[in-house]
A and B are shown apart, each in its own frame.
Chain A
Amino acid sequence: MKLKYFLFTILAFGNMVMSCKDYLDIPPMNVVQDKDLFSDATGMTVYLSRMYSQMPFEDFKYSPARQFFDDWLVTPGANSGESLGRDAGTAMTSEGYSRNGAYWGRAFNLLRDANRLLETLPEYKANFSDVDYKHFIGEAYFARGMVFYALAKRYGGVPLVTSVLKYPEVPAAQLEIPRATEEETWNQVLADFDLAIANLSATSPKRGYANKYVAYSFKSEAMLFAGSVAKYNKITGFGDKTGVRVIGFDANNAIAASKKYYKEAYNAAREVMKSGKYSLYKKKWSATDKEAQYQNMVDMFFDVSSSENIYIKEYKYPDLTHGYDAYNIPRQLMGGNGYSAGNCPTLDFVEMFDGFAKNADGTIKVFDENGKYLMFDKVTDIFANAEPRLRAYVIFPGDVFKGEVIEIRRGIFTGDASNGISPLRIVNGGNPDYTVSGPSNYNQVDAYKATGAFAGKKSLFLSQNGTTHETVALPGGITMNAGGKSGPFTSDATAAMTGFAVRKWLNPNMPQSLLLEARSEQHFVLMRYAEILLNAAEAASELMLAGEQAPSGDNFQQIAFDAIKDIRERAGAVPLVSANDVSGQAGLELIRKERKKELAFENKTLWDIRRWRTQHSEMLNGYTQADGAYYKGLYPFYSSTTGKYFFDAGLDEGRRRFRLTEQEYYFLIPGGEVSKSPLIDQQPGR
């Protein structure tokens, strides 16, 4: 009974309190208010930190399969021909649904933050110095430019959300924005980068912030993309719901648009060059010492103070880390999580470089004039004079990494070698078959199965995986495992499955006990001066082909030639002969090839071959990706009777098939977004 009275009392007093509106109507104390955030430059760091944490940076937390903000199985290059990865996708047609959802949805979060900054900061202008105020406005435009660029290169035309959408004040149905045309979207990218350039400070006020030249640099990259799409794209169409040309350019306008974008790309790159703030990294470089050239290119990716760095993404254990080392370390140095060799360079990539014997068609020379294998005293001999840049990017069989010889050997050949060794890829006594019909794995060949010419005498020994080896007793009384400590193995791809391991980005000083996921903290170079040179060269070449005149004081051919010459000199490559090397279509091809070499494993090449629209059409070992294509490996073997090494070059044993149809240059819009919206169009024709 007592309880009842008590409840009535509470109820009565409670009702009285309800009317006391005024002093209860205060903003929630646990939510940071605009007036606190926009108080001064320090308060702004909070706002900008959140924006930067959502930036679409393609760094150590990016993979084509899972897109942004995910550091699992990061293997840059494994989708674009530089390398093959056991866990990587192939041609990247995936929109990244598997773990994070497509970028489509996430992009609009950062757009909102950027638009809010642009709309709110003017109210608090008095709190900032003019320089700071302008810089923060510039940061907002920079973020918006980056987001629209990331969207445009994936989807073509997107909804151009350039103001804060007020929900729930305005009903959701009235806030729907349809996709703009692809051309309007690229123009928005251009406008945002231009406003970023106009407002940002010339140097970053704080480490990690953008600046005017960062914006110029990404502008040049984005405009190169836009110019290439306008020129090379073949697919276009109209949205079902809006009738808007959401992908591709109007044929009547494409050429003019492409010239306009190439000019913007060229001028932006030239601004960075003329600023004199950046240069190619040459701290340890020496014109006469290949070893110094090699070491210089290894070090440049670890030197935070490098004069080549225009923009880097820094990591720091334990706050912000990644797992590049754990996933990509050569097998024999594998860390505690059991990952290794996620990024195995292809022979196709290696063959682009200089410094080893080649056949007339540019492929590596492994056979002598009689069709027998070339024999090498040491496994390292074949690449002893390879271009220093290539050595800085790739670990060859027998190379030293972290003080250890990286042992890459596919198997041991015990057969007679007195008359030379015939090609291994032979089945049932037939002819050597290095086509896709030939044996895919060395455990199918005659020498291994003791058939054909090897009937009754097994002459090839292989290792099943890292722990199950066939062994060969060598003349000196030593027993040797067939496969090397780092593979390749018959049925375990956590090894150097192409015969190479990656060196780029791998921290040479990391103790093996720390080779774990989420333990690496080296920075990623998002933008470096070499790319600016390559952007200028490519844009200049395209503009020359289009018959355009250079801005006064510039000579397109000279700019392009100097850019490529400087990059090749620093790389230790064979020098160009004359400025004519960069003229015409052949010159453009040369510039593109240099770009593929220099920027390999930096998440750039995939976008390059996509914007050139060559990903589906370039001939790779007899096939195009439109039909399904394969890359090659180079497999080292030890000949036990001679104590020498030989190499077998051929299609990747795993026969990883890369396939891409032309319409996949544009990612699908997530189906749910299309279904629920009365305005958002799916890609035409799909």
Chain B
Amino acid sequence: MKKIFYSILICLAAVSFHSCEIDNYDEPQETIKGRVVDAVTGELVLTDQGSEGTRVRLRELSWKETKVPDNFDFFCMKEGIFQNTKVFRGHYNVRIDGAFIPLVRLTSTGDTIADESKYIDIKGVTEVEFKVQPFLKVEWIGTPTVSNGKITATVKVTRAVSPADFKAKIEPMGGYNDNMLNVTDVRLFVSQLPYVGYREWDNRYTTEINYSGNSFDAQLGQPITITTKGVIPAGRTVFIRAAARINYATENIKRHNYNQFIRVDVPN
């Protein structure tokens, strides 16, 4: 009886080894590092960290086993840089989409007008820099102040791309109207984490100001003072960040442009 039992066990063990085949590919070891900078000023384009931020899409063109390579997506860090250290060696198309003029522009029938994405070999540590035209630029004015658990900050929103340039680039894509340039909302995001943004905000304190039509145009370049909602408990540390967006979606998402986050300690 025991013999049968053991022989069954051995059989099972033998079968279980069946799948233990050594992988036919080496572990991906190449690194791609990138920066997304404003074509005019050379400053990094700050972004949210998540699906409403700047998305990086790699497509391995040297991969021939499927007709169309799968999309390999990841997201920019909030500073406007990205890095992936586990990429297979090969020839790639790298495109990014964010709150800036799309690099790949198609007509309404799907024909390519412009393709400013990069076609590169990724090998070792490969660095790329994308020069883009962000829709808006958001800046702090002065230092935020705290009183009674409310933070008051002043920001300035300006256009980083001129309406004429925007129109020249976007109109050929079809369906253009001037309302696309309208600033729809300005927000002061609050979070307990430095990764503050659209995907990480505390809706008890975060303030949102909506603008209808082109009503914001008069305030472009003017200081806008925003105060947080609710009362942040004394002694708490929060991170704040302002963002604004226009009425135009890239890859079907209306994305915000951001400024640099600031740490605020609410005094005891």
Contacts and interface: CB of A to CB of B under 8 A. Distances in A.
Interface of A: 234-238, 240-241, 243-245, 250-252, 430, 435-437, 623, 627-628, 661-663, 674-675, 678, 682, 684-686
Nearest to A622: B203
Interface string B188-212: 0000000000000001110010000
Counting chain A CB atoms within 10 Å of each CB, the highest count among B66, B68, B230 belongs to: B68
B71 A234 contact: no
Contacts of B67: 241, 678
Contacts of A662: 249, 252-254
Given A663-B252, A678-B67, A250 B108 contact: yes
A251 B108 contact: yes
B26 interface: no
B110 A245 contact: yes
Contacts of B97: 685
A237 B231 contact: no
B249 A436 contact: no
B226 to A, nearest CB: 16
Contacts of A686: 251-252
B61 interface: no
A14 B196 CA distance: 78
A661 B51 contact: yes
A243 to B, nearest CB: 4
Contacts of B71: 240, 682
Contacts of B249: 234-235, 662
B174 interface: yes
Given A243-B110, A437-B204, A627-B203, A675 B66 contact: yes
A308 to B, nearest CB: 40
Contacts of B253: 661-663, 685
B230 A237 contact: no
B106 interface: yes
B43 interface: no
Contacts of A250: 108
Interface string B25-50: 00000000000000000000000000
B229 A685 contact: no
Interface string B49-69: 001100000000000001110
A464 to B, nearest CB: 26
B110 A436 contact: no
Interface residues of B, number: 25
A336 to B, nearest CB: 40
Where chain A touches its partner, the secondary structure class is loop
Contact of A437 (B68, B230, B251): B230
Contacts of A235: 249, 252
B175 interface: yes
Nearest to B230: A437
Interface in B203-251: 203-205, 208, 229-231, 249, 251
B70 interface: yes
B200 to A, nearest CB: 12
Contacts of A238: 106, 110
A244 B254 CA distance: 23
Contacts of B110: 238, 243-245
Contacts of B52: 661
Given A251-B108, A252-B108, A623 B252 contact: no
A38 B203 CA distance: 63
Contacts of B175: 251
Contacts of A682: 71
Contact of A684 (B68, B229, B252, B254): B252
B229 A435 contact: yes
Contacts of A661: 51-52, 253
B38 to A, nearest CB: 23
A251 B174 contact: yes
Given A241-B67, A661-B52, A685-B252, 16 more contacts: A237-B252, A240-B68, A251-B108, A252-B108, A430-B231, A435-B204, A437-B205, A437-B229, A437-B230, A662-B249, A662-B253, A675-B70, A678-B67, A685-B97, A686-B251, A686-B252
**A-B residue pairs, 6 tightest by C-beta:** A685-B251, A437-B230, A437-B204, A678-B67, A235-B252, A251-B175
Contacts of B51: 661
19 contacts: A237-B252, A240-B71, A245-B110, A252-B108, A252-B174, A436-B203, A437-B229, A437-B230, A437-B231, A661-B51, A661-B253, A662-B253, A663-B253, A675-B70, A682-B71, A684-B251, A684-B252, A685-B97, A685-B253
A628 B203 CA distance: 9
Contacts of B68: 240-241, 678
Central interface residue in A244, A252, A686, by most chain B CB within 10 Å: A686
Nearest to B97: A685
A436 B251 contact: no
A623 B251 contact: no
A497 B251 CA distance: 39
B56 to A, nearest CB: 14
A96 to B, nearest CB: 21
Nearest to A676: B66
A328 to B, nearest CB: 30
A234 B180 CA distance: 12
B187 to A, nearest CB: 9
A166 to B, nearest CB: 23
Contacts of B254: 662
A678 B66 contact: yes
Contacts of B204: 435-437
Nearest to B208: A627
A236 B252 CA distance: 7
